[in-house]
Amino acid sequence: MPATEFVFALEFSSQGAPASLVEDLAAHVLKYVGCPRDSMNGLTEALEQAIAQSAAGAPRRCDVQFRVANSSLDILVSSNGGRVWQKSLEIS
């Protein structure tokens, strides 16, 4: 686990987030915090689906946050101020 707590946040415009960018970003953050490799693919796929869901319909802003605190990683996806998806993972 990283020595310090952190928040990493991105805001995507109404054009949405490229899937390859989300996949690469999530893989790097998950590896950095020590996420088990067997969990990475499922988390990355769920994150990509949540971002796609947030972009469905009318153009919307999408926010993605990775928060590390107290041996926990929280991944949050919001769209136009409302929570679309959240996942918490204990890390060591």
Say how many domains are in the chain.
1
In whole angstroms, give the CA distance from residue 24 to residue 47: 12
Report pLDDT digits (tens) over 17-67.
777 888 899 999 999 888 888 888 888 889 888 888 776 666 678 889 999
Residue 42 lies in a domain: yes
Dihedral of alpha carbons 46, 51, 54, 58, sign: negative
Residue 1 lies in a domain: no
Distances (CA, A) of 59 to 14, 33, 54: 5, 32, 9
Residue 70 lies in a domain: yes
**Range of 58's domain?**
6-90
Residue 81 lies in a domain: yes
CATH number, residue 12: 3.30.565.10
For the cut 50, the answer to whether the pLDDT of residue 1 exceeds it is no
Look up residue 58 and give its two tokens: 């009318």
Residue 84 lies in a domain: yes
In whole angstroms, give the CA distance from residue 27 to residue 73: 13
Distances (CA, A) of 40 to 18, 27, 34, 82: 18, 7, 10, 25
Could you tell me the pTM of the whole model? 0.85
